[in-house]
Structure 1
Amino acid sequence: MPDPHANASSGASQAVAVVLATTEASGLRCSGGTLLDRLTGQLATLPVRDVHVVARSSDIIHASGGTHMIGTEGSRGLADDLRRIAKVARSSIGPVLVVAGDLVAHTEALAMLVEHPARDTAALVSQRGDDPGPTRPPVRTDSRSVVAAGTSFHEAGETNGTFRGALQVGVPDLAGFAETAERLAELAESGGFGPMDGGEVPGLLLVGLVRSGAQVRAARLGRLRADRMTGQADADAAVSRLAEVDENEARLDAAVKSNDGFFATYAVSSWSRHLVKPAARLGLTPNAVTGISVGLAALAAVWFSVGTRSGMVTGAVLLYLSFVLDCVDGQLARYTRAFSPLGAWLDATFDRVKEYAVYLGLAIGYAAGLEVAGGGPDGIWALAVSAMILQMLRHMIDFSYAGARADASRVGAAWVRAAGSLTDPAGAARRPERRAAYAGADAGWTPVASEGEGDLGGGDIGAGDGDDRAAAPVARTGGEPDPGDGRMGPEDGRVDPLGRAAAAPGAGPGAGNLILRLSRGMEKASPTRWFKKIIVLPIGERMALIAVTAALFNARVTFIALLVWGGIAALYILSGRTGRSLSR
């Protein structure tokens, strides 16, 4: 099987790493040298072009990966550390990774930052329930972003995780990041943060990013480990614990969507993950798997067109297998990190082609009038065309809504730049972290929208198809959890696309919208949450509906079922989207 980290790109697209070897723990011993040596060796296996080291001494061990210290002399303190990082950020043409030199982590954990297709601003966080401390500063995350962060000076209310000492800054945020680092340096130099040492630089930078209004993706560790060290005994134990987790299996777990549709979750993803490794070993690309899926769907349409009971059953089985591969192509893309705009476009396009080809095959088979299939013309073509038109209208609604939300996000990104106070411990001034509710890039890697997730009347594009292969995510629509839906701190304010502060959830006319209150209430219980996913008839449920009704009954029943359920889904989506829009 290919090395999971061997697909690193080269040149300007690669990240630049800054390793903060400013604590004595960076020099702790481990197999092969020091913790610093171990960390720089890991970075050499990732798509990192240069590795810079900030240290208190110029006596830096030069690792084989090209490690070198910034400047000819050691850093003079916290303010100097921050200015050196700002200098790298201003000169870099790729993302900048900032990582503590005393970090003991799985390589896969670091890859979650530098190999993410969005190449965005992100921080490595854990939600294992560990007590916060100087090396584990507290954070609060919503479903996708870090919305508050703390240090020994800064507070972060209602925290639900800890920051693990590694963050990446995407290219669009580099200029603002450099300015923030320089501002932090000035404040540190004047004693604005009290007795803070260089070990807190990563956490301080995270606070600066969040309070400056940058959207910071929460890269969750899950089973993986990333811990900062304070002593030799800790380092020895931490390195030993890394072997307790199979990084490859953890990567495979992360490749399977955790918030998919009901049918995709329980009837496909529960076993399709076992196809991913063999596909990778065979050298199959996600696009190749998409092509095989299209071929199976075409064969299903041919068997449906035969019109016999055996043909209908065979077509149903082939359609199910086609959908399985439609999930596998996305899982393979995430597992191998083989993302491309072409792959995302092919997947979305061929999903429609496969579905409409199956409609055609069903109509042809029924129109043949074979008695065993209960067939006959009986207006079957009108039903088939009606089902196709309804589905096209649903997709049109989704894409138009996605475009409107993306436009609003761009306006919001241009206007919502109010910086929070860097010297206010509570940092509550204007809560710029809520900009994440509108800025909209999906940390889940879904390219446009997601069927049936989140808000009442969720979208109908791609959930369950398993493919997240866009080079950079686009704003989510239906799949985005609504601000204040119970997954965020209740004290959080909200920001609208024009930069005006909005009331906390439950206040004001928009938040009091009956539809949104109902939607949020349904999120609190698993049965109603699944109901919200199922009722919008996402692609997984559609494929299951077609396969079951075709195998057990006939095409007429299939089309009627699609029209009835699809009509209900369309009304549900329209009401949800209308209520959501009016709530703004």
Structure 2
Amino acid sequence: MTLAVLSAGGGDALDPPEATRLVADLVSALRAAGASEVERLDDPGALRALSRRAYDANQRVLICADNLVAHASLLRTLATEPGGRSTALVVADPAGDLRDERGKLLPAEPGAGTVRYLGALCVAPADLPTLEKVADRPDLLAALLDAGVVPVATAVRLLRATQVRTSSELAEARAEVAAVDEEAARLRLAVKEQDDFFTTYAVSTWSPAVTRAAARLGLSPTAVTWLSVLLAGLAAVAFGQASRPAMIAGGVLLYLGFVLDCVDGQLARYTRTFGTFGGWLDTMADRAKEYAVYAGLAAGAERIGLPYAWPLAITAIVLQTVRHMTDTWYGALHDEAAARPTPPAGGVGARLTAASTRVQGEAGSAAYWLKRIVVFPIGERWALIAVLAMLTDGRVALGAVAGCGLLAFAYTLALRSLRSLSMGVGVLDKVDTARHRDDGPLVRHLLAAPGLHSPLTFAAVGAVAALVLVAALLFGWVEPPAKGTVGVVGLLVLAAGLPARARHGGALDWLVPAALRAAEYLYVVAVGWAGSVSTPVLFLLLFALALRHYDLTARMEKGAPAGRGTGALAGWDIRVLALAVSTLAGCVTLAEAGLAAVVGGSFLGRAVADWLRS
């Protein structure tokens, strides 16, 4: 629920009947946006009291100027921000006094603005104490910005909103609002403004029709997500059959599953139906579907006698999971840098940032699309899998995914590292560092040593050591079971826990979670190959680990509850130690199968329990 207030907006020249009608229209729109109460703001004391009452009831406060003429959908958009953050209504304006940085609204120096405030603001419960402190200021948005609040920028885009001050402006604004088909605009606005090439041209051109049909059928976004999971699962089964008709059917099912994967988000934005569980499920389902398809392709290739398919699937799942960890934390780092008042330092990274921003502003240009394609996003990955599966076989599809993924990872890692050095901010120290490192009791209580620094260096050494061991086993430089070598590399990986207590605030420390994932996953692969573990069992363990680690990042990104404790066997350190011991004991298959069951079962049990409780 939301509490709403109407503030004086400056419509002094409006005739009293016009002003009364405009206020009545706004009250109606605010109630349609979900406001349980609408009050006129007569003095700052009233706003302070309302803020305190809303905070106690964990409600939002929607503040709207009484001279705003706008589509009602815009006020509803403000009141239903999916992340539960404060948000303000803005319009693009090069002469504005605000700037939109990655969807965040920040003050701008004169001449450097990109947007202008339109008089409507929704304050989230977490920011209500700040609102109460600045209630005396007439310029509430500027006061909140000065106090450190960073609202989301809600852009007008295809709809219309204007603050009016005269009768002629009122008539003109109402005519502009009436000229727009609000329903059609809402449906088009449900499509992401800047999406990837394949999604833009092969999905978003017709997916709004599916979104409208889903809304009319009363389907929820979560129901559409589950339908997408079903189609992707059927595609994986079809790929596992490996016959040409089955591979073609699998490619078609995968494409349709991806369409529904886009539709669930569009439906949520169109109906303004958001939920923490839905956002979490969408993220987890995307990864689970993709990795199930990898397994289906590998199983199908093995069925027709093609070697090396499972190793390619293992390469793809390790590569994509590690890369997604860098995506998550670089995004968080970029948001942290965008919200700071001072510009980044100069150098190569700053020039790269400026070039990226320039290209990003050239929507539709060749450089713009090349920049979006080269990072090999999910739409391009699924399109490549579908086309190659239909035309060739599972091994070729997996090889292409692994090869393109490796090139994209190298490109993004190099450029993002340079850009992060110019940003000069940390992000991993702003969260529960040990939780997102996935440290277990061995690191937390025994290994972590005070006074050590450079956590990224230790994690990178562990990852490189594990990678070298994998290469040595692959090329025959080390003969299985290589118990001594596996044990030494295990110690090097465990050494990544020594600086766990250090502050992870360095410019490159956002890479620590990805480096730890790489070290653990590569060690899992090395131990499995040294112990002659069946590749499907090895893939299953990596699948379970990936779900566990995606759960950590998805909860953070979607604002989901952190959940209860992580269990006695949780933590990368305990798992690495268990694998090293199992190598010495000669029971690696049992250990990896057992870990897959424990990690997967723990993830499912914790996820179900947390969501039922919430």
TM-score band w.r.t. shorter chain? 0.5 to 0.7
- How far the C-alpha of 1:122 sits from its partner, in A, is 2.1
Go from structure 1 to structure 2 and tell me whether the alpha carbon gap of 1:29 and 1:341 turns closer, same or farther (over 3 Å shift): same
Choose from 415, 420, 424 the match for 1:581.
Answer: 420
Query: Per the alignment, in what secondary structure is the counterpart of residue 205 of structure 2?
Result: helix
Matched AA of 2:26: L
2:116 aligned with 1:162 = yes
1:357 corresponds to 2:292:
yes
2:392 corresponds to which residue? Answer: 553
User: Match of 1:95?
Assistant: 60
Opposite residue 307 of structure 2, the aligned amino acid is D
Q: Which residue of 1 aligns with 2:135?
A: 181
- 2:207 aligned partner: 272
Q: State the alpha-carbon separation in 1 of the partners of residues 380 and 64 from structure 2.
A: 43
Shift in Å at residue 335 of structure 1?
Answer: 0.8
Structure 1 length as normaliser, TM-score? 0.65
Tell me the secondary structure at the aligned position of residue 559 of structure 1: helix
Structure 1 counterpart of 2:51, which letter? A
Residue 97 of structure 1 deviates from its aligned partner by 1.8
1:192 paired residue number: none
1:17 corresponding residue in structure 2: 5
Q: Deviations over 1:87-146 (max 9, x none)?
A: 4323322222221222222111211211222343222222278xx8xxxx8544344233
Q: Which runs of 5+ in 1 are unaligned?
A: 1-9, 55-74, 76-80, 150-154, 185-200, 370-375, 409-436, 440-481, 484-493, 496-500
1:100-111 to structure 2, matched below 5 A, reads 100-111=65-76
d(CA) in 2 for partners of 1:53, 1:304: 62
Please state if 1:380 is matched with 2:309. Answer: yes
Following superposition, the deviation at residue 319 of structure 1 comes to 0.6
**What's the secondary structure of 2:120's corresponding residue?**
strand
Displacement of 1:181 in angstroms is 2.8
Tell me, yes or no, if the aligned pair for 2:67 and 2:164 is still in contact at 8 Å. Answer: yes
Return the match for 2:92 from 123, 127, 130. Answer: 127
2: distance between equivalents of 1:52 and 1:569? 53
Residues in 2 aligned to 1:303 and 1:145: alpha-carbon distance in whole angstroms = 43
C-alpha separation in 2, matches of 1:292 and 1:363 = 24
Write the deviation string for residues 294-352 of structure 1: whole angstroms up to 9, x where unpaired: 11112212222222222211111111111011000110011111111211221122212
1:391 paired with 2:314, answer no
SS at match of 1:239: helix
Distance 1:25 1:223, change over 3 A: farther
**Letter in structure 1 aligned against 2:382:** M
CA distance in 2 between partners of 1:539 and 1:259 (Å):
14
Matched with 2:32 is 45
Q: What amino acid sits opposite 1:108 in the alignment?
A: S
1:146 aligns with 2:105: yes
- Given that residues 255 and 386 in structure 2 are in contact (C-alpha distance below 8 angstroms), is that contact kept between their aligned partners in structure 1? yes
- Structure 1 141/344 Cα, relative in aligned 2: closer, same or farther at 3 Å? closer
2:89 match: secondary structure:
strand
Report what 1:324 is aligned to. Answer: 259
Shift of 1:286: 0.8
Query: Does the CA-based 8 Å contact 2:6-2:66 persist in structure 1?
Result: no
**Residues of 2 paired with 1:349 and 1:523: CA distance?**
28
1:19–1:99 CA contact under 8 A, matched in 2: yes
The aligned counterpart of 2:379 is: 540
Secondary structure at the aligned position of 1:125 is classed as strand
Q: Any idea what the Cα deviations from partners look like across 1:180-204, whole Å, max 9, x if unmatched? A: 233x3xxxxxxxxxxxxxxxx4xx2
Secondary structure of the residue aligned to 1:260 is coil
SS across alignment from 1:34: helix
Counterpart in the other structure of 2:23 = 36
Match of 1:449 in 2: none
Partner of 1:303: 238
TM-score by length of 2: 0.62
Report the Cα offset of residue 357 of structure 1: 2.0
- Cα distance in 2 between the residues matched to 1:240 and 1:514: 45
Instruction: Tell me how far 1:394 sits from its aligned partner.
Output: 2.3
Structure 1 residues 438 and 277: alpha-carbon distance in aligned structure 2, compared to 1, 3 A threshold? closer
> Are the counterparts in 1 of residues 81 and 87 from structure 2 also a CA contact under 8 Å?
no
5 Å-filtered alignment, 1:457-476, equals: none
Match of 1:115 in 2: 80
Deviations 1:368-390 (A, max 9, x none): 32xxxxxx232222222222232
Change (3 A) 1:524 1:362: same
Alpha-carbon contact 1:27-1:34 (below 8 Å) kept = no
Say if 1:42 and 1:156 are closer, same or farther in 2 by CA, change over 3 A.
same
Aligned length: 418
Structure 1 residue 279 displacement after superposition: 0.3
The question of whether the paired residues in 1 share the 8 Å contact of 2:11 and 2:164 is answered with no
- Checking the alignment, whether the CA contact within 8 Å between 2:301 and 2:307 is kept in structure 1 is no
Identify if the C-alpha distance between structure 1 residues 83 and 387 changes in structure 2 by more than 3 Å, giving closer, same or farther.
same
Distance 1:42 1:27 in 2: 21
SS state at 2:204 partner = helix
- The one-letter amino acid paired with 2:296 is G
Select which of 210, 214, 223 maps to 1:288: 223
Which one-letter code corresponds to 1:216 in the other structure?
P
Rounded to whole Å, the distance in 1 between the matches of 2:413 and 2:33 is: 45
* Residues 366, 36 of structure 1: alpha-carbon distance in 2 compared, 3 angstrom cutoff: same
| Equivalent residue letter for 1:141 | D
Partner Cα separation in structure 2 for residue 148 and residue 107 of structure 1: 27
**Residue type of the alignment partner of 1:232:** S
Deviation at 1:365, TM superposition (A): 2.2
Report how far residue 531 of structure 1 moved: 2.1
Output the CA distance in 1 between the equivalents of 2:361 and 2:37.
46
Matching residue of 2:302? 367
Letter in 2 for 1:146: L
Equivalent pair of 1:125/1:162 in contact (CA under 8 Å)? yes
**What is the DSSP-based 3-state SS (H/G/I as helix, E as strand, rest coil) of the residue aligned with 1:269?**
coil
Structure 2 residue 48 is matched with structure 1 residue 86: yes
Of 102, 125, 149, the residue aligned with 1:171 is 125
Distance 1:227 1:515 in 2: 37
CA shift, 1:166, in A, is: 1.5
Change over 3 Å in CA distance of 1:519–1:247 after alignment to 2: closer
Distance 1:248 1:98 in 2: 24
Measure how far apart 1:236 and its partner are: 3.5
Distance 1:520 1:148 in 2: 18
Partner Cα distance (1:111, 1:545) in 2: 38
CA distance in 1: counterparts of 2:18 and 2:177, whole angstroms:
13
In the alignment, structure 2 segments of 5+ residues that lack a partner are 425-614
| Aligned counterparts of 1:156 and 1:208: Cα–Cα separation in 2 | 17
Distance 1:19 1:514 in 2: 43
Secondary structure, counterpart of 2:153 in structure 1: strand
Q: Distance in 2 between matches of 1:85 and 1:358?
A: 54
Give the Cα separation in 2 of the matches to 1:102 and 1:514.
43
Matches within 5 A, 1:411-430: none
Higher helix share goes to which structure? 2
User: In the alignment, residue 5 of structure 2 is paired with which amino acid?
Assistant: A
Alignment of 1:185-334 (within 5 A): 201=138, 204-334=139-269
**Change in 2 beyond 3 A, CA 1:307/1:108:** same
Shift of 1:554: 1.3
Residues 28 and 35, structure 1, Cα contact 8 Å, conserved in 2? no
